[in-house]
Amino acid sequence: MATQPSTEVVEQPSGKHRVVVIGSGFGGLFGTKALRHADVEVTMVAKTTHHLFQPLLYQVATGILSQGEIAPPTREILAGQRNAQVLLGEVSAIDLAAHTVTSTVLGRSTITPYDSLIVAAGAGQSYFGNDRFAEFAPGMKSIDDALELRGRIFGAFELAEIGASRGENVDHLLTFVVVGAGPTGVEMAGQIAELAHRTLKKDFRAINSRHARVILVDAAPQVLPPFGRKLGEKTRSELEKLGVEVVLGAMVTDVDERGIAMQFKDGRVERIDSVTKIWAAGVAANPLGRTLSEQTGAPLDRAGRIAVNPDLTLPGHPEVFVVGDMIALDNLPGVAQVAIQGAKYAAKEIDRRLRSKPSLGPFTYFDKGSMAIISRFRAVALIGRFRFTGLIAWLMWLALHLIYITGFKNRLTALLHWFVSFIGRGRSERTTTEQQIFARSALGRLKHGAADLVSDPGAYDAARALLETTRRAELEERAAEEARLTDSGVRGVRVEHQVG
Ligand SMILES: Cc1cc2nc3c(=O)[nH]c(=O)nc-3n(C[C@H](O)[C@H](O)[C@H](O)COP(=O)(O)OP(=O)(O)OC[C@H]3O[C@@H](n4cnc5c(N)ncnc54)[C@H](O)[C@@H]3O)c2cc1C
């Protein structure tokens, strides 16, 4: 049987203005939702089926929250929005001349035409050119990352228990290194310290979890540089009170299975033996920025972010908006509010154009402030000129995150889990599986990832058709035999066998 083509072109039958949104993160979801009253057909193309609340990934990694609480299904969120549909697929090409987006899932490609496009594909982890570090020091960008880290963190304590009961040295298993002292690194280091000193302290027999070392390393001379010197100092001293060792001015030069090497400004090189390393150091904008840059001439900065016009469109392409972590505009930070506000602005602008209303003018960002949690009841917040620390900042963090977690049931269960972890000592989500670490690594070694594990769509259809033909012939033959037995009167007639 001939192999079927695995590329499909999706046309909108309604004849309405077609908006394609790439990504289901903060930009993608809020942009799509902002178009709910517009006279358009929206297609959100995203490579995951969920909307991810990245700021709480570290709580999934350390067993406080489940992945479902921070990653509700996009289809469910948009179920009531009649003008929106969701298409699963990783966008591999954007053709600005043809106005199409090509996305692929497990070898099946879809070409989706658009009249307006909002690109909100976010950013990934950057290992500053040392991608081989990723295998030994996972980043913190996706649910897969968080679950792998959960497996590695809790797994290290388990292996240490086995080793210690045999009298082996387990220091390398009980040493956790977090690379990058930005908000994510601070949050991870604080949580691992809490795990070791509070949550796990009664759970083991051969090891004392409180002896675990948590080391936060950064090449910068201070913790949380964007929060300013004062809050950086405060955060550092709070971390040290929790038992975290803060190593600043140290650039990580190598990472392998057994540990990391770091170099100080004076040239000194030190090595830390550690099985569990977490990379929270750098970000690189989504590679789709490069294809947009090549087609428009818009430059990319060092982090791969594309320079956009003040109204977030691309040069020569007023129908294409780029928002969130992918853009370089006025030194805007890579935070959720930049993506949310940018996407809402783009949606509004599309709607106004369709209604022949004047343009909104340049995009302006309203800075609502920044926060980082250090541990339970301790956080720092910078809102305008005002600095908050300790319990007040922590309560502000709690309120804000509850507001922004999507979905009522997620808010309720997150609150319950926070109660368990912050008031009590427990963590409700400590389950880990071998798949989290080993299956992921195995997939990573396949040339085309998961696509290598499924047959190509044409081959699958051909195999199924052959199976159906064979099975049908078998069934027909059996039915004919049954009928023959009945019609010939043979069925039920005992045949006497003569013995001897
Ligand atoms: C661990 C962590 C903690 C953070 N904490 C905070 C915080 O406390 N406060 C704050 O304001 N910000 C925080 N941020 C930053 C914030 O999450 C980002 O700035 C924000 O998510 C950017 O939104 P976005 O829409 O640009 O990208 P994202 O939210 O990353 O969304 C990108 C979307 O695009 C999809 N995608 C990517 N590539 C493709 C493709 N080729 N095809 C199809 N879909 C694709 C992804 O699956 C995703 O759905 C944090 C980030 C991380 C990683």
Superfamily grouping for domain 7-126+284-354: FAD/NAD(P)-binding domain (3.50.50.60)
Alpha carbon of 53 to ligand 1 centroid (Å): 8
Yes or no: say if 457 and 108 are a contact pair by the CB < 8 Å rule: yes
Start-end of CATH 3.50.50.60 domains in the chain: 7-126+284-354
- The CA distance from 461 to 463, in Å, is 5
Q: Is 187 a catalytic residue?
A: yes
State whether the beta carbon of 25 lies less than 6 angstroms from ligand 1: yes
pTM, full prediction: 0.89
Atom of ligand 1 nearest to the CA of 335: 19
CA of 314 to the centre of ligand 1 (A): 21
User: What are the distances in angstroms from CA 300 to CA 97, 120, 294?
Assistant: 20, 16, 10
How long is the chain?
500
Per-residue tokens: 11: 């046309």
Interatomic CA distance for residues 36 and 179, integer angstroms = 41
For the chain, residues classed under CATH 3.50.50.100 are 131-280+370-444
Residue with tokens 């789709």: 288
How many angstroms does the Cα of residue 285 sit away from the middle of ligand 1? 10
Among candidate residues 41, 69, 161, 187, the one labeled active-site is 187
**What torsion do the CA atoms of 426, 429, 430, 436 make, to the nearest 10 degrees?**
-160
90 within ligand 1 shell (Cβ under 6 A):
yes
Largest CA distance in the chain: 110
pLDDT of residue 1: 38
pLDDT tens-digit profile, the chain (500 residues): 334 446 776 766 678 999 999 999 999 999 999 999 999 999 999 999 999 999 999 999 999 999 999 999 999 999 999 999 999 999 999 999 999 999 999 888 999 999 999 999 999 999 999 999 999 999 999 999 999 999 999 999 999 999 999 999 999 999 999 999 999 999 999 999 999 999 999 999 999 999 999 999 999 999 999 999 999 999 999 999 999 999 999 999 999 999 999 999 999 999 999 999 999 998 999 999 999 999 999 999 999 999 999 999 999 999 999 999 999 999 999 999 999 999 999 999 999 999 999 999 999 999 999 999 999 999 999 999 899 999 999 999 998 888 888 777 788 888 888 888 888 888 989 999 888 888 888 888 888 888 888 877 677 778 788 888 888 999 999 999 999 988 888 776 665 655 54
Third-level CATH fold of 131-280+370-444: FAD/NAD(P)-binding domain (3.50.50)
Q: Which residues contact 215 (CB under 8 A, 6 or more apart)?
A: 175, 176, 177, 178, 189, 244, 245, 247, 272, 274
Q: How high is the pLDDT of residue 183?
A: 95
Residue 214 Cβ < 6 Å to ligand 1: no
Task: Tell me whether residue 227 is exposed, middle or buried, using C-beta atoms within 10 angstroms of its C-beta: 0 to 12, 13 to 18, 19 or more.
Answer: buried
